[in-house]
Amino acid sequence: MISRIILTILLVASLAFIIQRGPTIAQQAAPQKASSTPVGGSHRLADSMQSKLDHIQQNAQQPNPDQTPTVMTEDEVNDYIASGHIVLPQGVKKLKMEGRTGVVTAFLNVDFDEIRAGQKSANPLLSVFSGRHDVRVEADASGSGGQGRVSVREVSIDGITVPRMALEYFVNKYITPKYRNVGMDSRFQMPDKVDLAAVGYHKLTVTQK
């Protein structure tokens, strides 16, 4: 269920991020992975996560996939990210996620200058999006009928809530042009025959069909 879109990049980095990087993509990216720490041993939970992703991918190859739910824990997801299996989007230096029923909270360290790639703007709405900062993103996230949905509730930078108008302007100018279907409200087709994706208390449950 992690297969392609980049689970909502910086501002929607939540379920979409998980549903974003499939096992095959992760394995192909392994030689370039951000962390030099070998997978396995110190990343036991990442290994467990990889096994579940492999199962999801293999199950999707079946004409009638096994509909037994696959449960990925928050700790497995975060260890998978920390192990370097996933190459983070440009400008995102660190990412950790927390889940509760229907809601994903992402904690990131972001270099906004890198995201803006040197583009200057006199618009005062963009003044907050400069330099490197700690970012917290809270979003509603769910998936049903093969469609994933992520809607940003709130974003704060260094503990200060970003006005929604400024946030929408930044996303529309710098994020959406790079990543299709990624915005304040994102809709996307879930990969690997994933029919349902439910964010629970510190876990993500995926059902294929």
* pLDDT, tens only, 42-75: 788 999 988 998 899 899 999 999 999 999 999 9
Residue 166: which domain range?
15-208
Instruction: Give Cβ neighbours of residue 38 (< 8 Å, ≥ 6 apart).
Output: none
pLDDT at 28 over 80: no
Amino acid 33: pLDDT: 36
* Tally of structural domains, the chain: 1
Instruction: Give Cβ neighbours of residue 83 (< 8 Å, ≥ 6 apart).
Output: 33, 35, 37, 39, 43, 46
29 lies in some domain: yes
25 lies in some domain: yes
Amino acid 173: pLDDT: 84
**CA distances (Å), 94 to each of 36, 81, 126, 128, in order?**
15, 9, 22, 19
pTM metric for this prediction? 0.80
pLDDT at 141 over 50: yes
Residue 203 C-alpha from the chain's centroid: 14
